[in-house]
A and B are shown apart, each in its own frame.
Chain A
């Protein structure tokens, strides 16, 4: 029920109401950006932005840097395991 799906803003359709077309998994829907874009003036910066969409409203801007950090951490964890396995194999 609290489903949220990542989408990318394609174009602004109503700056005053802060509505834009957002590509959600290949389907373009009008989405309300009032919770992620401060003002109608700031809507010009919205295209290209990644947002999390819930029942027709963007509820969060996706933070690319944080997404990258999470994946990087898991990558490093995997490399560390590999090293430890190799080290253990050498001792044996």
Chain B
């Protein structure tokens, strides 16, 4: 496949690995005192595990798997909202496949479907709009989740519904934003992260300037990266080069897809339909100010929260789960007390075990830490 295979070339990967090895030695990093790089996006976590990049990199580099998997940070209360909506007689609840298996406090959407609720998986929000047109006697709710990457698609779908006057379509909006979340993470006391691999597809929408504060105020280099193995390795190399030359900047490795200013048409659609939410609830991380969006009043007719009077609710995560600590890079997945025992990809307790982009599912599926290491006291 064009623009994919050429970025998986093993020979070029070896070249990068050799450069990285040289630089980590030069920087004096060791396995006891590694350079800690967080890949923010779950897509990168997936690439890192799928291609075994951690095994290729020297052990003087530690990769911390960040919070950038919208399914993994979906709070239980929101799943409960979806289940409650799906159980209404008139509602067809639609969403992306990833959201179906996330546990709620009562059940997941998949369990609700098995129990008779009309839940349907769609590829695109426009498929949900089509369903609304085909079923004028029903209420079609699209559960829209995801970061800035996905926001333009739901915004444009709401605009299309408004234009065509499709009144039986609404959006349950659970979109969240990356820069505010990174800021909250960076404000966490004793967070030990030296640099970031920035999310490529969020950046193709918002551009690279939004991360300026991470380099300028927090002194951490950030490199926006593509999703093939060469992209991720090149980004690690670019971070190390910054460290070696004493620079601290936002750089763009993924120029073939990410213009520095992002996508203005997509930004316009998002600004037209959404506004910042005062607070947004994250699984494992708690409430983060302005880390999500809600639908503007002008489009309240297409806002499921407004239409069905969905009241915000907070449901505590299961006590035994340590998702938050994993998301902040404090512990590795196998160190969680329920990893691989009470919590597995077949019966996930925590959301990090649900999605293939979640750090715990990745550790489990790729056989790393099947035998949990003894936990530090």
Q: Answer yes or no: do A and B interact.
A: yes
Kindly specify which of B26-34, B121-129, B325-333 makes contact with the partner chain: B121-129
B19 near A77: Cβ-Cβ < 8 Å: yes
Within 8 A of A (CB), among B185-212: 199-202, 204-205
A62: CB under 8 A from chain B? yes
**Cα–Cα, bound, A27→B9 (Å):** 24
Is B42's CB within 8 Å of the partner chain A?
yes
The answer to the question of B247 belonging to the interface, with a C-beta cut-off of 8 Å to chain A, is no
With a cutoff of 8 Å between Cβ atoms, the chain A residues found around residue B258 in the complex are 60
Q: Which residues from chain B contact A66 at a C-beta distance below 8 Å?
A: 255-256
CB atoms of A55 and B98 under 8 A apart: no
Report yes or no: B204 in contact with A55, Cβ–Cβ below 8 A. Answer: no
Q: For residues 64 through 80 of chain A, which have their beta carbon under 8 Å from a beta carbon of chain B?
A: 64, 66-67, 69-71, 74-75, 77-78
Contact A35 B19 (CB under 8 A): no
For window 39-73 of A, CB contacts with B under 8 Å fall at 50, 52, 54-57, 59-60, 62-64, 66-67, 69-71
Q: Which residues of B contact A25 (CB under 8 A)?
A: 1
Give residues of chain B (167-225) contacting chain A, Cβ–Cβ below 8 Å. 199-202, 204-205
Partner of B2, one of A1, A4, A32, A50: A50
Complex-state Cα separation, A85 to B357, whole angstroms: 39
A34 at the interface (CB under 8 A from B): yes
The answer to whether A74 and B12 touch across the interface, beta carbons within 8 angstroms, is yes
A70 touches B234 (CB 8 A): yes
Given known A62-B3, A77-B19, contact A4–B149 (CB-CB < 8 A): yes
Tell whether A57 pairs with B153 under 8 Å between CB atoms, given A4-B201, A25-B1, A62-B256.
yes
Whether A3 sits at the interface, judged by CB under 8 Å, is: yes
Task: Flag whether A2 is at the interface (Cβ < 8 A).
Answer: yes
Contact B201 A54 (CB under 8 A): yes
Q: Is A90 an interface residue (CB 8 A)?
A: no
A34 and B265 contact, CB distance less than 8 A: yes
> Would A67 and B256 count as touching, CB distance under 8 A?
yes
A36 touches B265 (CB 8 A): yes
Most chain-A CB neighbours within 10 Å: which of B9, B125, B265? Answer: B265
Which residue, A2, A25, A54, A60, has most C-beta atoms of chain B within 10 A?
A2
Distance in Å: Cβ of B206 to nearest Cβ of chain A = 11
Q: Measured between alpha carbons, how far is A64 from B355 in the docked complex, in Å? A: 32
Q: Is the CB of B265 within 8 A of A35?
A: yes
Q: In the complex where A4-B149, A56-B123, A59-B204 touch, is A77 in contact with B15 (Cβ < 8 A)?
A: yes
Q: Does B48 contact A (CB under 8 A)?
A: no
Give Cα distance in the complex from A4 to B42, angstroms. Answer: 13
Cα(A38)–Cα(B19), bound, Å: 42
12 other A-B residue contacts (CB within 8 Å) besides A1-B98, A3-B201, A35-B152: A2-B43, A32-B156, A55-B96, A59-B204, A60-B257, A62-B3, A63-B256, A67-B256, A71-B6, A74-B12, A74-B16, A81-B18
State the B residues within 8 Å of A (CB): 1-4, 6-7, 9, 11-12, 15-16, 18-19, 41-43, 68-71, 96, 98, 123-127, 145-147, 149-150, 152-153, 156, 199-202, 204-205, 227, 230, 234, 253, 255-259, 263, 265-266, 269, 355, 357
Nearest 10 interchain pairs by C-beta: A56-B124, A67-B256, A66-B255, A2-B149, A78-B15, A6-B3, A2-B201, A66-B256, A60-B204, A74-B12
Residues of A within 8 A of B (CB): 1-4, 6, 8, 25, 32, 34-36, 38, 50, 52, 54-57, 59-60, 62-64, 66-67, 69-71, 74-75, 77-78, 81
